[in-house]
Amino acid sequence: MTRPVRACISASALAHNVAVARARMPGAKLMAAVKANAYGHGLAVCAPELARAGVEGFAVASMEEAEQLYDLALGPPACLLAGPFAPEEIPLAAARGHILVVHRAAQLAWLQTQRWDRPLSIWIKVDSGMHRLGFAPRALGPVFEALSAVHSPLRILGLMSHLARSDTPDDPHNVRQIREFRAAIGQWGERTLGEHSLANSGAILALAEARFPWMRPGLMLYGLSPFPGQTGRDLGLRPVLSWQAQIIATRRLAPGEWLGYGAAYQAPREQRVGVVACGYGDGFDRHLGQGAPVWIGSQRSQTLGRVSMDLLFVDLQDSDAQEGDWVTLMGVGAEPLESLAERLGTIPYELGTRIQARVPRVLVP
């Protein structure tokens, strides 16, 4: 690809963040969340580095993502967090060695009607209080009865749940959810292999009582904070992403001249402007528009006017930058994703996943 835009991914930062997760929850196996193209960081680039760092599993959202990992032949299994979306995915999962999360009655029925040869591993999702997916704790008896009627080889790894408010660790809702999950394990855990899982990034970083045999870090692996008002660096993490694009043209505006779509920016004085090969078609949010901080080398600048589909403008008034120079739009060497997300009134999860597939992910040491 020759279009000069790239998302640079730091291999050393990924390995560092895995080590931080292990230090926070020692002894727990690590299932690395790489769903949504590794939170926008690039599954094909990040997953091999996470495997080299020793993760024991990968968390994905669909069979398509699990198959991407299978083609990479990395070793650790893929776990489909929402389980199968169709019955024919079950024998495929067994054949590939994928793990399924079972959370609704239809999936139990599919397990009884499908046939497979290799042992299929599953987790049972328990709704401990988030009320999104999972069986109510009082409904687990019929769940285990239904699983006992499955005739193909089946391994029930354990119970799994998800915290609704781990981004606010002091919230009493976390205590209630952990208590509900422990109670479910106390009643039904002996019918499993004891490989239970609850902790996401927020819990790994701030809720030691949520430690179970498996943890499932996501955002923190990419060096980002799940907590409002904090960056990953504040938590000892290293940001993984540096999003960069080249200046492909420069313009000199006279005082009062207008710039770009909608003539949304007017030069207050004679002004030099750079045109950068990145736009909302690449995932750079149009609402960042006027005044978003960017860096040209070590020099701070800002965006001007409206972001278009493939291009945006940066202020070169106090810069000697020329065509061919790289602008760092966000991440390492620029504004943290957490700060830009706050500017947009969103969360860093969303900002990362907006980076489109047409932006190449490039591994750097």
Is residue 259 a contact partner of residue 267, using CB atoms and an 8 Å limit? Answer: yes
Q: Which of 63, 12, 67, 9 is nearest to 38 (CA)?
A: 9
Q: Which of the following is catalytic: 29, 70, 125, 261?
A: 261
Query: Would residue 39 show up in a list of annotated catalytic residues for this protein?
Result: no
In the beta sheet, which residues pair with residue 253? 271
Q: Which of 90, 160, 172, 150 is nearest to 125 (CA)?
A: 160
Structure tokens given for 169: 């660790």
Q: What's the length of the chain?
A: 365
Tokens 């819990």, located at residue = 203
Query: Would residue 35 show up in a list of annotated catalytic residues for this protein?
Result: yes
Query: CB under 8 Å to 117, separation ≥6 — which residues?
Result: 94, 95, 152, 153
Whole-angstrom distance, CA of residue 309 vs CA of residue 347: 22
Q: Catalytic residue positions? A: 35, 261
